[in-house]
Amino acid sequence: MAGDIDARFKLDWPGFSVDVNLTLPGRGVTALFGPSGSGKSTLLRCIAGLERAPQGRLVVADEVWQDADRWLPTHQRPIGYVFQESSLFAHLSVLGNLRYGMKRNAEPQRVSLDQAIDLLGIGHLLDRKPDLLSGGERQRVGMARALAVSPRLLLMDEPLAALDMKRKQEILPYLERLHDELDIPVIYVSHAPDEVVRLADHLVVMDEGRVVADGPLADTLTRLDLPVRLGEDAGTILDAAVGAVDADWHLMRVDFAGGSLWARDHGLPLGHRVRVRVLARDVSLVGQPGTSSIQNVLPACVDAIGDDEHPGLALVRVRIGEAVLLARLTKRAAAALGVKPGLALWVQVKSVALME
């Protein structure tokens, strides 16, 4: 498809190899997910031209960046790159850092300096030197700097990995704003499941230099045949909208294709698009709905059954209309319920997490 990113790289280093052949969507956020050493950062560096795979082909929106006879050096690629650790130029102020790439950029300017400063909330930091910023502030400046070159492709290499939980929570909303307000495709490397489910539209799972799963986020997360080892974080996401608010009980209803769920009210207007995350451990299956403290009970149909990481546990994929949920239960409970593909039953959802 036009706008897509075709990436084929093969490289062999002592003790480490990468061999990928991927087509990534030319819009939205694609997460490259995997354990450290899985080759996801190397793949990103190959896309940026910071690493040169001897055998490779990279086509971004019908433009060849690398193949057998062509090699576009990094500084000629219309990318923005956010590094894992702070990478601000120590000899320049925040504003100097922002302008560095901007004044060298020959491409039409799609993101203005003010817009970049505004999106990342760094207007009050412009005159400071980088060594006077906190870790979170530095990363925000790094992101604004990458945006200020008006990239056609934004590459982010674990931009939150060096930050503690609190700083991370402080930055995630800014990343979501980028996603919502700018039409720039993003490739986001991460090993943190919470970042991936919150930000990604498309998920590529890597292990030992190979791609083990690749597809839209919800599909990839609910594949039972693949080792997308999220452990306690196994679950899925639903794209939904606020459908109703129950002010008396401080609850809101989120509607998705196939049903609706009640969640804690976040004061969002009706119709607001939200992404909700439902963890497999918070979903249980029942034959008949009865009296329960759990209010979210939906009719569903068993789609598939897979093994979980522990031999006593199973992951069951159920369909609710077009939507899919994962439920984690013991294999004994699954046997007692007679769970098999096609079985109609009810799901109880104990908890729903709002992602934005």
In the block, residue with structure tokens 């769970």: 339
Q: Please tell me the distance from the alpha carbon of residue 56 to that of residue 73, in angstroms, as a whole number.
A: 14
Q: H/E element holding 127?
A: none
Q: Which is nearer to another protein, 117 or 324 (CB)?
A: 117
> Strand pairing partners for 320?
323
**CA nearest 151: which of 72, 81, 87?**
81
Q: Which is nearer to another protein, 88 or 117 (CB)?
A: 88
Q: Please tell me the distance from the alpha carbon of residue 199 to that of residue 356, in angstroms, as a whole number.
A: 9
Q: Are strands 235-246 and 210-216 parallel, antiparallel or unpaired?
A: unpaired
Q: What is the DSSP letter of 268?
A: P
Please count the other Cβ atoms lying within 10 Å of the Cβ belonging to residue 59: 16
Q: Tell me the Cα Rg of the chain.
A: 22
Q: What is the DSSP letter of 48?
A: H
Q: Which is nearer to another protein, 104 or 288 (CB)?
A: 104
234: which 2 tokens? 């196994």
Q: Which is nearer to another protein, 108 or 311 (CB)?
A: 108
Q: H/E element holding 288?
A: none
Please list, in sequence order, all residues whose beta carbon lies within 8 angstroms of the beta carbon of residue 43, skipping any fewer than 6 positions away. 7, 9, 18, 20, 32, 189, 206
Write down the least CB distance from residue 156 to another protein, Å.
Answer: 11
Burial label, 270 (beta-carbon count in 10 A; 0-12, 13-18, 19+): exposed
Write down the least CB distance from residue 84 to another protein, Å.
Answer: 10
Q: Which is nearer to another protein, 47 or 230 (CB)?
A: 47
151: which 2 tokens? 């990239």
Q: Which is nearer to another protein, 100 or 262 (CB)?
A: 100
Q: Which is nearer to another protein, 113 or 241 (CB)?
A: 113
Write down the least CB distance from residue 119 to another protein, Å.
Answer: 18
Write down the least CB distance from residue 104 to another protein, Å.
Answer: 4
Residues belonging to the chain:
356
Residue pair 241/271 in contact by the 8 Å Cβ criterion: yes
Q: Please tell me the distance from the alpha carbon of residue 135 to that of residue 186, in angstroms, as a whole number.
A: 22
Write down the least CB distance from residue 144 to another protein, Å.
Answer: 12
3-state DSSP assignment of residue 339: coil
Write down the least CB distance from residue 219 to another protein, Å.
Answer: 32
Q: Which is nearer to another protein, 111 or 234 (CB)?
A: 111
Write down the least CB distance from residue 146 to another protein, Å.
Answer: 7
Write down the least CB distance from residue 122 to another protein, Å.
Answer: 16
Write down the least CB distance from residue 150 to another protein, Å.
Answer: 10
Q: Which residues bind another protein (CB under 8 A)?
A: 48-50, 73-76, 79-81, 83, 86-91, 100-101, 104-106, 130-131, 138, 145-146, 149
In the block, residue with structure tokens 């230099």: 209
Q: Which is nearer to another protein, 120 or 339 (CB)?
A: 120
